[in-house]
C-alpha cells in the first residue's frame, strides 16, 4: 500500500510503500541507513543486507543524494528519533538518479543557498519553517472565521497608494498608470462598510531600499478591518489573534520547533493581554536606556524597537504616535490632536514590528483635509472619501506582516528564510 511519511504512525507493524527522495545516507558493510524525505516529513529507513536481495542492498549503498525512489518495508517504532518511527526496508525501486546535487550536508554560504533556493527548500530546516508559516495561515483563517469575519480579497493592481507614495512599484495599465498594492487597507475599509468584519490575506509590494533582516520587497499581510470597533477594542482583537496563532504553532508544530531548536518557553508566555506603552513613555524609556539623542516626534528604528521590547516578556503595543510620522488616515486622539489612535505591536527577541494598526478617520471634512495636507491625488480621493459620506462609522483595522511573524515564531534570524521565494533588494532569482 502506498502512503506518506506523515501517515506512517497509522501503519505501525504493516508493510507500506513510500515515494521519497534520499536526503542523506550512512552505510557500513551489512547495513545502510537512508534518511528519506517525501515532502510530508523526514524518516529513517534501515536496509539490512540480510533482509533484502543482493541487488537491493547494492542499490541502497550506491544511492545518491536527492535520488527519487519507491521504498517498501515494515513500519516499526523508533523511540530514539523525535519522529518515533522508522522503516525496515524489504525493497527499493529507483525512479530517478540525481547526480551532483549542489547542496551537500556540509555548510554553505547564504548567497550560495539563496541562489539555489529552488533546491534549498527541500532541506529539513526550510521544511520546518514553511510548516510553521502554513500553521500561522491555517490558524489565522480559523481565528477570523470563528469570530464572524468574512475574507475579502482586495485588488493587487491599484490606482492609488495606501502607505505613502515613495515606495510604489509602478506599471502601465493599458493607457493608465497603476501600482502594485502596498496594502489592501483602503479597499478593506470599503469592505468593512459592506460586511462589518472582514480580513484579507495577500501579497503586498514595497520598493523599499532597505536591506535589513526584517524587510522584503514582496511580503504577505493579513489585514482585518472592523466597523463599529474603536482603537481600544481593536487592540483586544489583535492580542487575542496573536495569542491564538502563537499557541496554535506551539501545539501543532512541536516537531518543527524542535528541528529549529526554538526556545519555546519564551513563546509559551505569549498569551493575552499584552502590555501597552505610549509613544511618550517609550521616548522616556529609551532616554533612560541610553538613547539620549532621540527626540519626541522622531520615528523609532530597529535598535529602539528592540530596546523597548527587551523591557517586556510578551509582545508590546506602542500606542499613540505623533500624527506627523504616521499615515494620513489615522484618527487623531480627541483629547490630544498631535497624536493618533494607533499602535504598533513589537515582537520580543528583536523581531521588530509585526503589526501596524489604527482607528481610521471617519469624518469627511477631516479626511479631505488630510488628503490635501499629504498632497495625495488619484482615484481613491473620490471613492475613499465617499465611504465617509454615506453612513460613516467608527472603524479600526490592522496589518500583520506574515514573514516577520514566521521569523519570530521559528526563531530564524532573517525574513529571507520565511517565504518560499524571497524578493529582496538585490534578488529576483530564482
Q: Which residues bind ligand 4AD (CB under 6 A)?
A: 162-163, 183, 185, 206, 208, 215-216, 219, 221, 223, 353-357, 397-399, 401, 403-404, 415
Instruction: Read off the DSSP letter of residue 121.
Output: T
* Residue 60 partner contact from Mg ion, ligand 4AD, none using kind-dependent CB cut-offs of 5 to 8 Å: none
Q: Please identify, using beta-carbon distances, which residue of 5 and 347 lies nearer to ligand 4AD.
A: 347
CB of 421 to ligand 4AD, least distance (A): 14
Q: Please identify, using beta-carbon distances, which residue of 259 and 282 lies nearer to Mg ion.
A: 282
CB of 23 to ligand 4AD, least distance (A): 30
* Residues linked to residue 427 through DSSP beta bridges, in sequence order: 424
Collect contacts of 342-345 with beta carbons under 8 A, ≥24 apart: 342/231, 343/231, 343/235, 343/238, 343/276, 343/317, 343/318, 343/319, 344/317, 344/318, 345/238, 345/242, 345/274, 345/315, 345/316, 345/317
CB of 150 to ligand 4AD, least distance (A): 16
Distance of CA 194 to the CA centre of its chain: 28
* Residues linked to residue 347 through DSSP beta bridges, in sequence order: 352
For residue 201, the tally of other CB atoms under 10 A from its CB is 19
ω into 144 cis (within 30 of 0): no
For residue 106, the tally of other CB atoms under 10 A from its CB is 5
C-alpha cell at 278: 505610549
Q: Please identify, using beta-carbon distances, which residue of 63 and 246 lies nearer to ligand 4AD.
A: 246
CB of 356 to Mg ion, least distance (A): 3
Question: What burial class does residue 305 get, using C-beta atoms within 10 Å of its C-beta: 0-12 exposed, 13-18 middle, 19+ buried?
Answer: buried
* Residue 349 partner contact from Mg ion, ligand 4AD, none using kind-dependent CB cut-offs of 5 to 8 Å: none
Q: CB–CB of 285/277 below 8 Å? A: yes
Q: Please identify, using beta-carbon distances, which residue of 219 and 384 lies nearer to ligand 4AD.
A: 219
Establish if 356 lies at the interface with Mg ion (CB under 5 A).
yes
Q: Which residue has the cell 481613491?
A: 380
Q: CB–CB of 32/62 below 8 Å? A: no
* Residue 357 partner contact from ligand 4AD, Mg ion, none using kind-dependent CB cut-offs of 5 to 8 Å: ligand 4AD
CB of 180 to ligand 4AD, least distance (A): 13
| Count, residues near Mg ion per rule CB under 5 A | 1
CB of 413 to ligand 4AD, least distance (A): 14
Q: Please identify, using beta-carbon distances, which residue of 206 and 262 lies nearer to Mg ion.
A: 206
Establish if 357 lies at the interface with Mg ion (CB under 5 A).
no
Q: CB–CB of 225/195 below 8 Å? A: no
C-alpha cell at 348: 520580543
* Residue 208 partner contact from ligand 4AD, Mg ion, none using kind-dependent CB cut-offs of 5 to 8 Å: ligand 4AD
Establish if 397 lies at the interface with Mg ion (CB under 5 A).
no
Q: Which helix (H) or strand (E) holds 274?
A: none
Q: Please identify, using beta-carbon distances, which residue of 66 and 403 lies nearer to ligand 4AD.
A: 403
CB of 353 to Mg ion, least distance (A): 5
C-alpha cell at 279: 509613544
Binding residues (CB under 5 A) for Mg ion: these are: 356
Amino acid at each position: 500500500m502506498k502512503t506518506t511519511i506523515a501517515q506512517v504512525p497509522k501503519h505501525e507493524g504493516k508493510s507500506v510503500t513510500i515515494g521519497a527522495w534520499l536526503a542523506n545516507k550512512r552505510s557500513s558493510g551489512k547495513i545502510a541507513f537512508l534518511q528519506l524525505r517525501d515532502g510530508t516529513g523526514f524518516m529513517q529507513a534501515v536496509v539490512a543486507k540480510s533482509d533484502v536481495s543482493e541487488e537491493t542492498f547494492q542499490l541502497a549503498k550506491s544511492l545518491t543524494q536527492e535520488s527519487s525512489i519507491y521504498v517498501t518495508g515494515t513500519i516499526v517504532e523508533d523511540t530514539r528519533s523525535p519522529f518515533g518511527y522508522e522503516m525496515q526496508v524489504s525493497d527499493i525501486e529507483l525512479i530517478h538518479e540525481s547526480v551532483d546535487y549542489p547542496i551537500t550536508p556540509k555548510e554553505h554560504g547564504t548567497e550560495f543557498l539563496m541562489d539555489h533556493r529552488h533546491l534549498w527548500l527541500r532541506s529539513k530546516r526550510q521544511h520546518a519553517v514553511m510548516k510553521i508559516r502554513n500553521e500561522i495561515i491555517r490558524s489565522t483563517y480559523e481565528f477570523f472565521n470563528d469570530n464572524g469575519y468574512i475574507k475579502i480579497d482586495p485588488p493587487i493592481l491599484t490606482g492609488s497608494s495606501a502607505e505613502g507614495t515613495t515606495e510604489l512599484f509602478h506599471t502601465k495599465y493599458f493607457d493608465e498608470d497603476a501600482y502594485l498594492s502596498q496594502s489592501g487597507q483602503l479597499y478593506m475599509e470599503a469592505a468593512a462598510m459592506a460586511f462589518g468584519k472582514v480580513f484579507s490575506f495577500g501579497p503586498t509590494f514595497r520598493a523599499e531600499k532597505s536591506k535589513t533582516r526584517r524587510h522584503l520587497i514582496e511580503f504577505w499581510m493579513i489585514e482585518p478591518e472592523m466597523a463599529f470597533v474603536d482603537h481600544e477594542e481593536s487592540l483586544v482583537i489583535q492580542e487575542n489573534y496573536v495569542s491564538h496563532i502563537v499557541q496554535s504553532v506551539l501545539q501543532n508544530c512541536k516537531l518543527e520547533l524542535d528541528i529549529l531548536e526554538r526556545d519555546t518557553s519564551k513563546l509559551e508566555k505569549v498569551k493575552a493581554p499584552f502590555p501597552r506603552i505610549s509613544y511618550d513613555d517609550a521616548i522616556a524609556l529609551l532616554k533612560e536606556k541610553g538613547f539620549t539623542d532621540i527626540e519626541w516626534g522622531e520615528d523609532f528604528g530597529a535598535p529602539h524597537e528592540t530596546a523597548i521590547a527587551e523591557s517586556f516578556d510578551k509582545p508590546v503595543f506602542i500606542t499613540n504616535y505623533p500624527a506627523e510620522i504616521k499615515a494620513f488616515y489615522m484618527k487623531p486622539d480627541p483629547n490630544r490632536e498631535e497624536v493618533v489612535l494607533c499602535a504598533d505591536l513589537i515582537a520580543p527577541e528583536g523581531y521588530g514590528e509585526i503589526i501596524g494598526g489604527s482607528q481610521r478617520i471617519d469624518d469627511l471634512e477631516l479626511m479631505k483635509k488630510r488628503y490635501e495636507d499629504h498632497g495625495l491625488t488619484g482615484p481613491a480621493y473620490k471613492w475613499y472619501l465617499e465611504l465617509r459620506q454615506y453612513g460613516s462609522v467608527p472603524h479600526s483595522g490592522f496589518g500583520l506582516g506574515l514573514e516577520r511573524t514566521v521569523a519570530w515564531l521559528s526563531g530564524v534570524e532573517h525574513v529571507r528564510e520565511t517565504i518560499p521565494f524571497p524578493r529582496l533588494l538585490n534578488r529576483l532569482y530564482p
